[in-house]
Amino acid sequence: MTVVLYVDAIGGAAGDMLLAALLDAGAAEAAVSEAIGSVVPAARISTETVGRGGLRASFLRVAGLEAPGSGGGRMRGIDELLEALEAGTGLPTPVAVMARSILHRIGEAESRVHGGGPGSSLHAIGDPDTLVDVVGVAAALHSLGVERMLVSSLPIGAGGSVGEGHGGHAVPLPAPATLELLLGFAVRPGGTDETVTPTAAAIIATIGEPIEGFPAMTIRSVGYGAGARAPAERPNVVRVVLGDAVEERGPEDPEGGPSRLLCVLEANLDDLSPELVADSVSALLAAGALDAWTTPIQMKKGRPGWTISVICEPGAESRISRELFLTTSTFGVRSHHVTRSELSRRIATVRLEGGAVRVKIGTLGDRVVSATPEHDDVAAVAANTGRPVRAVYEEATAAVRALILAGATP
């Protein structure tokens, strides 16, 4: 099943509010703290329970950014933020890819709004707080195993102003960069204060998908993140709901297997190095693609090239297309919709000498037609017992098939 996160912007959204809500929903604080510490070593995060408009919520506190040598001074451009991110060691690849994509999105929006290159000044978002929020949210999403992020309509404050922007002038609300980032997302009136920050808008634009109404899911957990202000007119919180998607499916296959409506995206490349092609595949998978692969082809003038192909949910088509444009040299992306017939699947666990092995079981109607052990589990048991991986694989397969033949439910 696809793990989804629904972001319900009750009172708005900021980077720290999103991070607090994800921690409240069960993201591993130790993993998030470690990821943040790898790029902003002096930063220390903690949460406290507060009340906002009658709702209990978590409020994020960040300490250490103003300490000498902490890097707490203002960073004046996207390039410096990216350099700090690249200097971090130990970040899981999906976290680094996600954080890098968010920062690039911020830079592109600022460049379009204010002119100049993508390394131009980032007024309200050009400081270490941005890195804490971006890396923290990426690490929290990775910790929770989120595959899709769905976003409600967003309350947008208008008519006021905030801070100092380019040329020392106050930034009118909605902030121009925020509006640029939220193209394609539904918004609603939200008073005169800043209710959605540029950092939150960048996170939402990079990872999120707009949705009308509450998504169909089996709920796992709920988290609330609080903003610093406590306005009387609304609870200043963002709510996140984590769950397993109840997937849209096509008609039943005549043989008894369900079918699924999916989108296939493709692009041809002849001027990208193999290393960058591999990076693009990793980025596409991190962005929520169900699968991504390359096929060698011959292009015009006899040039060797690649077709990069991606399968994704129909609702993720725009986001995955955007990721293809950002991570490859293509000038166009082809798309078509397909119906994929699938086996019904479930996970069983068999216990062997040396440990447990999960086995993915596929059924067609009432008949089991596939039983595939998880390779990581097989390798772990092989390492524990000193046996060949293949021998453990065959034993796990035989064990689950024996249970099936005996009429037991594995």
Q: State the CATH number of the domain containing residue 265.
A: 3.30.70.1380
User: What pLDDT was estimated at residue 170?
Assistant: 75
Residue 114 C-beta-side C-alpha neighbours within 13 Å:
24
Report percent pLDDT > 70 for the chain.
86
> Are 325 and 298 in the same domain?
yes
Nearest one of 128, 38, 121 to 78, comparing CA atoms = 121
Q: Is residue 410 included in any domain, yes or no?
A: no
CATH number at residue 363: 3.10.20
**69 confidence band (pLDDT: 50, 70, 90):** very low
**250 confidence band (pLDDT: 50, 70, 90):** low
**32 confidence band (pLDDT: 50, 70, 90):** very high
Cα torsion 285, 313, 209, 3: sign: negative
Q: Is residue 336 included in any domain, yes or no?
A: yes
337 and 386 Cβ atoms separated by less than 8 Å = no
Domain count for the chain, please give it.
3
> Are 333 and 280 in the same domain?
yes
> Are 59 and 72 in the same domain?
yes
343 and 371 Cβ atoms separated by less than 8 Å = no
Mean pLDDT of the chain, nearest integer? 85
Task: Enter the tokens of residue 51.
Answer: 């009340």
Q: Is residue 335 included in any domain, yes or no?
A: yes
pLDDT, mean of residues 172-191 = 90
Q: What is the pLDDT of residues 72-109, one digit of tens each?
A: 555 446 677 777 787 766 788 888 888 988 988 888 88
Give the least confident one: 1-15, 131-145, 232-246, 251-265.
251-265
**218 confidence band (pLDDT: 50, 70, 90):** very high
Residue 94 C-beta-side C-alpha neighbours within 13 Å:
18
Instruction: Name 72's Cβ contacts closer than 8 Å, sequence gap at least 6.
Output: 42, 64, 65, 66, 127, 128
pLDDT, mean of residues 130-159 = 93
> Are 65 and 184 in the same domain?
yes
> Are 212 and 112 in the same domain?
yes
User: What pLDDT was estimated at residue 374?
Assistant: 92
> Are 75 and 122 in the same domain?
yes
**255 confidence band (pLDDT: 50, 70, 90):** low
How many C-beta neighbours within 10 Å does residue 68 have?
A: 6
Q: Is residue 396 included in any domain, yes or no?
A: yes
> Are 350 and 335 in the same domain?
no
> Are 112 and 25 in the same domain?
yes
Q: What global pTM score does this model have? A: 0.62
> Are 308 and 361 in the same domain?
no
The parent domain of residue 310 ranges over 259-341
Q: Is residue 251 included in any domain, yes or no?
A: no
> Are 353 and 393 in the same domain?
yes
**19 confidence band (pLDDT: 50, 70, 90):** very high
Last residue of a domain, one of 223, 245, 267: 245
Q: Is residue 287 included in any domain, yes or no?
A: yes
